[in-house]
Structure 1
Amino acid sequence: MKVYVSDRRRCEVIALPGDLADVDERFGARGSGIGEFERPRGLASDDVNQLLVADAGNHRIVSFDPVDFVGSWQEYGTFGSGVDEFDTPTAVHVDEKGVIWIADTGNRRVVRVDSLSGSGWAALGPLPGPTSADPDAIGFLAPTSLAHDAAGRIYVTDGRAGRVVRIDEIGGWGWSAIGPFVGGVPLAAPVGVCAIGDTVLVVDVRRSALVEILDAGTGVETFVEHGAAGVLVMPSAMASESSNVVYVTDPRASVIVQFVTEGAGGWSPNTTLSSIVAEGEPRRFDEPVGIAIAHFA
């Protein structure tokens, strides 16, 4: 098992072991060509040994096999607001059927495709979205991450709207908004999400915390905030290894944190990898943002 993390400032993707011992491999450099990224963000892995990258600054989605980085390189999308076009995509996700979901943040929409050929293109948005006059309106202000649960439902974080949205399909069927208040307490800016069975976890960049949403999608949700003070500053994304282990990136603190749970005891930080190696030594990374767990390499 490997943990893959995108470094927004260095424009590269790094690979680490599950125990976060140190950086094993580095992929990419700044640019717009093959083997290059510009402000890479969200990551995902599929079941055919491909790592997918939301290459935000190049307005495209990229996939590659870490064993043959350049030779396996595939890219999809150009800048724009039409079909096969993106504006600063910040997340990519592969569901249990192998379908690819993309948070097309600049276009305020979520896109679904069957493959990076663009087949099966469908989009939800842009729609008006929530306002102060109509906070429950359907639509996204700035979708930033995606996940699916055991039932195949899709969760989308919309940090600007202060809510997490759940849908059954790309047409918006089963739309359910969680937030901006959960159990009477406000979600501030949820930016990363993962679903473990029926449990939904988000990282809230303004609360500097990992938040567990209970009874998600029922309309009577509550949440539990986890994390030791000072561990997270401005978390960005998260990914789950198993039902009791998740990883969180924090570009402001320049750390990658492994959280574990033993059930009723909640989630607590277990291992933290800092960008700093030793005085005078090069940093491991600068701004870790996207993260994915892969079992193929």
Structure 2
Amino acid sequence: MAERPSAAQEALSKVEDQLSCLVCLEPYTNPRLLSCFHVYCQHCLEDIVTHNRQGQLECPKCRRPTPLPPTGVSGLQAAFNVHHLFDIQETLEKIKEPQKLACEKCSKTTRKATSFCRQCTKFICDMCTTIHKEYEEFEGHEVVTLEKVEGDLIRLVSPKKTSPRCPKHDEKMKLYCEPCGELICRDCLVHIHKDHKYCVIADTFESHKKEILDSLGPVEKQLEATDTALVNLDGRHAEIIEHGGKIATNIHSKFNEIRRALDAREGELMAELEGHTQQQLKSLSAQREEVEILQTQRSSCLHFVRESIRTGSPGDVLKMKQGVVKQVRELVDTFDPNTLEPRETTNTCFVPSAQLVKECKKFGALCCVNIPQKAIADQKVTAYCRFLSPKNSAPPEAKLISKRTDKATKCVVKERGKGKYEISYQPTVGGASELIVRVGGEEVAGSPFPVAVKTPIDKLGTVIKTINDLKRPHGVALNQAGEIIVAEHDAGIVSIFSPTGDKLRTLDTRGTAVGEMEYPRGVAVDGDDNILVVDAGNHRLLKFSRGGDLIAAVGSHGDGPGQFNNPIGVCVNSVNGKVYVVDFGAYCVHIFNSDLTFSSKFGSKGSGNGQFDSPYDVASDRSGCVYVVDAGNYRVQVFTPDGGYLRQFVMRGSGNGELSGPVSICVDSDDLVYVGEYGNDCVSVFTCEGVFLKSFGSRGSGPGQFISPYSIAVDQCGVVYVSDYGNNRVQIFS
């Protein structure tokens, strides 16, 4: 039986794998970094450039292009972290046979090594170990026994973080020129960078390191998305195979009834099914390769940057900072989330024909139905049904049913030839709907198909449902299941309703203890369906799970970081995942990280740009921009995700887009901005640039009327939910 490799041998094998160039398959020589964070030998990259007529440097692994600097391949960023791996490799070679190790520190080379000093990177004997412990010059050195080294091989060798020297003046480069993004020495500062802003590396390295690490946040999320996408693609791959098997079984069962007459037809259909299934699998395989490339790029980015920061000196890290941050941003900007969604679906089905005996020569059909997932109310929408067996003459039947009203919309089916059918429908009611498609009296695979019917803005304003008997409802939000979350201010509770308005559960922990609420105001939902509540009475921000379990509670009364003076509005930025809380009494907006640790805040009292007078609510759009309703100044201000002022729109007025007491705001999936007005008791709709589109509502207690519309939520269908504070209800509009 073969002897199991030692821990050192296994670690050495892993390190050697990381030290081999993917082009020449030899250990790296002068390793260079591409913009995709893959590393290759300099001479290998120069060969690639030489053989490429366009002069484009394309990564051999992921095919991402890297722009060449004027100096060519030699001007690319050096992968200095690779040198640390060579140091580890050298030490691992020695420890493969620890019984043969001799002391490398003292003159008695016959003494057996028993420990390892990480700072000296030498194996030492017992006497040298004692000297390390007793002599002041070795203070801070980490000495570990060989047994401990075996269990901690990853941390075997400390990175050699040496400051680089200036190639012009042969001095240590201890300064960083911020405009140029370069390391400089004192002579460079005097002669070349005289009027430039600079900093001492040792003093500012931590802030620069944090900036680099912060830039990795979107990459981490994209890597998680690619991981999830690969799982989904593998799952869809299995579903298609399983679904194809089910269809095959169905085909077999039908054909067994009239086997002799349908043997030939069965073979044809099975061949068609196999061909279609293989075509889908081939398409999925191609898509999987695309996602794997995205995953590889982002994984390489994270691994390289973190290892470089861990193993490189401050100078090395800052030397690469500008290029790395630029490369990271390019990597983030080129990410297309649409690539992650499986392009193929299990939309194939077997449809048996009527009159089996007479129609045995063309018995059964495989068909695919392509349904638009988003329709516009009062606008003609077309879906398509395609038969893989074009000789089948059974036309499909279809109808569109609103899930809110149960009303059916008539569908028109037209044959387009070659087994293709066009299904047209013109929805009259907005909201979630279902398209039912039948062939030969049986529903096709996937039916009913979900269709999001979005009402055109010019038609918006019809009340389709009302949730009554609430106690001063303030905040309103929607979770991924379409449940309606309402903060009842006077009751001190948060109530959750089904999409049809039935009460499901309540967060009713009223009080002043941690996790309890006195006067809940704004509510929001994060990407994990957790519920965020601002509690004005206790000056707190609370996070609950969808089921109501307390996850976190932050804040107290005061003006320090993370403290509140009457918090009132809250939103979650879908781009950066951060939580924004409007502090009415402090005239500012607090920014929290997704784990509710305090990040920063912006705003002050006043009427200038970026100042507030009675801020009430906050929302964000698809690009991450933040919108704040500034009631006292009769306007909406727009900010960057970090709180930088961008623009404002609409001033004081009494209608037609002129705001009067704006108190609530919401931005939908099309970046349309909905503003609830206390003074006009209406909801006004604008583009994200502030162009007025329409208003609906007036003061009163009838359907479609308001008394203080304090919060707004909009679902993917454009259905608008408004908390009607003074009338103790939530009205739903389409």
Query: Is the 2:684–2:695 contact (alpha carbons within 8 Å) kept by the matching residues of 1?
Result: yes
What's 1:227 paired with? 697
TM-score using structure 1 length: 0.77
Aligned residue among 45, 48, 62 for 2:528: 48
4+ residue runs over 4 A deviation: 181-185
Aligned residue among 602, 608, 611 for 1:124: 602
Aligned residue among 8, 26, 45 for 2:506: 26
3-state SS of 2:594 partner: coil
Instruction: Give runs of aligned pairs for residues 96-107 of structure 1, distance below 5 A.
Output: 96=574, 97-107=576-586
Residue 11 of structure 1 pairs with residue 508 of structure 2: no
What's 2:689 paired with? 217
Distance 1:224 1:255 in 2: 23
Query: Is the 2:517–2:535 contact (alpha carbons within 8 Å) kept by the matching residues of 1?
Result: yes
Deviations for 1:122-170, whole angstroms, at most 9, x for unmatched residues?
A: 11122x421xxxxx54301121111111222111111222111111233
The range that moved more, 158-167 or 136-145, is: 136-145
Q: Structure 2: state its 5+ residue gaps.
A: 1-480
Distance 1:33 1:108, change over 3 A: same
Distance 2:606 2:717 in 1: 33
Distance 1:80 1:257, change over 3 A: same
3-state SS of 2:715 partner: strand
Deviations for 1:150-191, whole angstroms, at most 9, x for unmatched residues?
A: 222111111222111111233323133432359975310111
Distance 1:28 1:229 in 2: 31
Residue 147 of structure 1 pairs with residue 626 of structure 2: no
Distance 2:618 2:667 in 1: 9
What's 1:90 paired with? 568
Aligned residue among 193, 199, 204 for 2:677: 204
Query: Is the 2:680–2:699 contact (alpha carbons within 8 Å) kept by the matching residues of 1?
Result: no
Q: Structure 1: state its 5+ residue gaps.
A: 131-135, 261-297
3-state SS of 1:150 partner: coil
Deviations for 1:17-76, whole angstroms, at most 9, x for unmatched residues?
A: 1122x3221112321114420110000111223100001110010001132x34x34101
Query: Is the 2:681–2:698 contact (alpha carbons within 8 Å) kept by the matching residues of 1?
Result: no
Distance 2:588 2:566 in 1: 11
Distance 2:717 2:529 in 1: 22
What's 2:593 paired with? 114
Instruction: Give runs of aligned pairs for residues 231-242 of structure 1, distance below 5 A.
Output: 231-242=705-716
3-state SS of 1:6 partner: strand
Residue 62 of structure 1 pairs with residue 571 of structure 2: no
Aligned residue pairs total 247
AA matched with 1:31 = G
What's 2:723 paired with? 249
What's 2:115 paired with? none
Distance 1:37 1:63 in 2: 12
Greater Cα radius of gyration, structure 1 or 2: 2
Distance 2:695 2:639 in 1: 24
3-state SS of 2:585 partner: helix
Distance 2:623 2:710 in 1: 25
Distance 1:236 1:174 in 2: 25
AA matched with 1:203 = G
Deviation at 1:105, TM superposition (A): 1.2
Query: Is the 1:28–1:35 contact (alpha carbons within 8 Å) kept by the matching residues of 2?
Result: no
3-state SS of 1:57 partner: coil
AA matched with 2:556 = T
3-state SS of 1:101 partner: strand
What's 2:639 paired with? 167
Deviation at 1:209, TM superposition (A): 0.8
The alignment-based identity, stated in percent, is: 27
3-state SS of 2:727 partner: coil
Distance 1:76 1:35 in 2: 9
Distance 1:56 1:241 in 2: 26
Instruction: Give runs of aligned pairs for residues 274-293 of structure 1, distance below 5 A.
Output: none
Query: Is the 2:515–2:553 contact (alpha carbons within 8 Å) kept by the matching residues of 1?
Result: no
Query: Is the 1:101–1:146 contact (alpha carbons within 8 Å) kept by the matching residues of 2?
Result: yes
Aligned residue among 655, 665, 675 for 1:193: 665
Distance 1:212 1:185 in 2: 8
Query: Is the 2:579–2:596 contact (alpha carbons within 8 Å) kept by the matching residues of 1?
Result: no
Decide which structure has greater strand share: 1
Distance 1:14 1:186 in 2: 33
Distance 1:181 1:168, change over 3 A: farther
Deviation at 1:237, TM superposition (A): 0.3
Distance 1:184 1:19 in 2: 32
3-state SS of 1:252 partner: helix
What's 2:427 paired with? none
Distance 1:232 1:184, change over 3 A: closer
The range that moved more, 165-174 or 203-212, is: 165-174
Deviations for 1:71-115, whole angstroms, at most 9, x for unmatched residues?
A: x34101111111121111111111112111110111000111213
TM-score using structure 2 length: 0.32
AA matched with 1:226 = F
The range that moved more, 187-196 or 29-38, is: 29-38
Decide which structure has greater helix share: 2
Distance 2:662 2:646 in 1: 20
Distance 1:228 1:141, change over 3 A: closer
AA matched with 2:713 = A
3-state SS of 2:590 partner: strand
3-state SS of 1:26 partner: strand
Distance 2:551 2:492 in 1: 16
AA matched with 2:544 = F
